[in-house]
């Protein structure tokens, strides 16, 4: 499998559930990102990891907890979410976090919080 993959593609969860989103990249990249795409809003960067170290947390609530065990995998752990957290969550990777590097996106996980 090539590129950036995300699982699951769709997730419905209650406000008290705990779930995790998974992202895997097969491109040999060292930087990985989580973005949130809400209806009628620009994409919002949530987290950046470079060589497994978190380099940016864009003021994301603590109910979202990222984990990057290695350069190929990125998780987003979810707990006690709110309905307004329903969105498309996109993972991306790039060779490094240098500004000229192209980011490659996965297909996203469509999350619905009931």
Interacting residue ranges for another protein, rule: CB under 8 A: 4, 6, 31, 33, 40-43, 45, 48, 50, 55-56, 58, 90, 92, 97-100, 102-108
Q: Which CB sits closer to another protein, 80 or 107?
A: 107
76 within 8 A of 13, measured Cβ to Cβ: no
- For the chain, what percentages of helix, strand and coil (3-state, to nearest 5) are there? 5, 55, 40
Smallest distance, another protein to C-beta of residue 23, A: 11
Smallest distance, another protein to C-beta of residue 16, A: 29
Q: Which two tokens stand for residue 95?
A: 């060779």
Smallest distance, another protein to C-beta of residue 15, A: 26
C-alpha dihedral sign at 75, 94, 106, 60: positive
Rounded-to-integer distance, Cα 34 and Cα 93, Å: 9
Q: Which CB sits closer to another protein, 11 or 31?
A: 31
């Amino acid at each position: 499998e090539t590129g950036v993959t995300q699982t699951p593609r769709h997730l419905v969860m209650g406000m008290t559930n705990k779930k995790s989103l998974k992202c895997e990249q097969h491109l040999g990249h060292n930087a990985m990102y989580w973005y949130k795409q809400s209806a009628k809003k620009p994409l919002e960067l949530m987290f950046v990891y470079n060589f497994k170290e978190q380099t940016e947390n864009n003021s994301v609530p603590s109910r979202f907890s990222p984990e990057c065990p290695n350069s190929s995998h990125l998780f987003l752990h979810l707990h006690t979410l709110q309905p307004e957290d329903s969105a498309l969550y996109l993972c991306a990777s790039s060779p490094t976090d240098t500004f000229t590097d192209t980011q490659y996106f996965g297909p996203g996980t469509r999350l619905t919080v009931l």
